[in-house]
Every structure is written in C-alpha cells, then in structure tokens.
Amino acid sequence: MDDETLNKLIECAINVRQWAYSPYSHYSVGAALLTAGGKIYEGVNIENAVYPLCLCAERVAIFKAVSEGEREFTAIAIATENGGMPCGSCRQVMAEFGLSTRVIIVDTAGHIHADTDVAGLLPNAFSPSDLI
C-alpha cells in the first residue's frame, strides 16, 4: 500500500470516530477497512445498555463490507484516543477473512502504535480448516 492510501485510511478511521455511539464507556473507536478492490468501508463502535449487544468498530466495518459482497481485504486502520488494540472477537472476525490483512492501530493524532497483520494479532487462529 502506498503512503497516500495509508494516510487516507488512517484519516478515515480518525474522522469516523465522531459517529461512534459510546455513551457508557466514552471510548470512541473508528475503523476504516480497505478492500482488495480499493473501496473503503468505515465503522464505529456502537454501545448498548445491554453490554453484550455492543458492536466494535472493526466488526461494523467488516460486516458492512461483507453485506455488500466484499470478501477480500487488504488493510484496516483502527483509531482510538490512545491507540488501543482490537478485542479478541474482532481479531477472530478479521481472521475469518484473511490472516494477511494489514492492521494499523493509531491514536487520534495519527501516531501509529502498531503495524502488523491479523496473524500477528491472533497467532494460531481458529479457521474454517479446523471444522473438518
């Protein structure tokens, strides 16, 4: 991925945080997912008074893309105030669509806290091949 695309992805993840619905934690998260075809899907965390019903920004972005027929992802940028890492559920959902997907974690100032891939975030991931 070239620098221009990387910067655009990071900027999208930071900017979309404004739409997060986080009245309980006050921890807004934005995600920008880049497909193999070059389209960007954005997502934000959406909280609920019944905590198990909350959705993370990463999964929202992935589910939006999948619901529109996308299955191949190149990269995802995730922005939080402090550069927090994705939860285990998000890591597993990302793994479903490719262990080589690049994952860039940034804070609101755009500083990169981590630049890895899904395999680096979730070693020995459970995958469809484990269902045999």
- Predicted confidence (pLDDT) at residue 3 exceeds the cutoff of 90: yes
pLDDT score for 61: 98
Read off the pLDDT of residues 15-57 as tens digits, 9 standing for 90 and up: 999 999 999 999 999 999 999 999 999 999 999 999 999 999 9
CATH of span 3-131: 3.40.140.10
42 counts as catalytic: no
Percent of the chain with pLDDT over 70: 100
For residue 120, the surrounding DSSP H or E stretch is helix 118-121
Catalytic site residue from 4, 47, 58, 96: 58
- Checking DSSP bridges between strand 40-44 and strand 102-106, what pairing results, if any? unpaired
Strand pairing partners for 40?
Answer: 34
Map out the domains of the chain as residue ranges.
Answer: 3-131
Global pTM?
A: 0.95
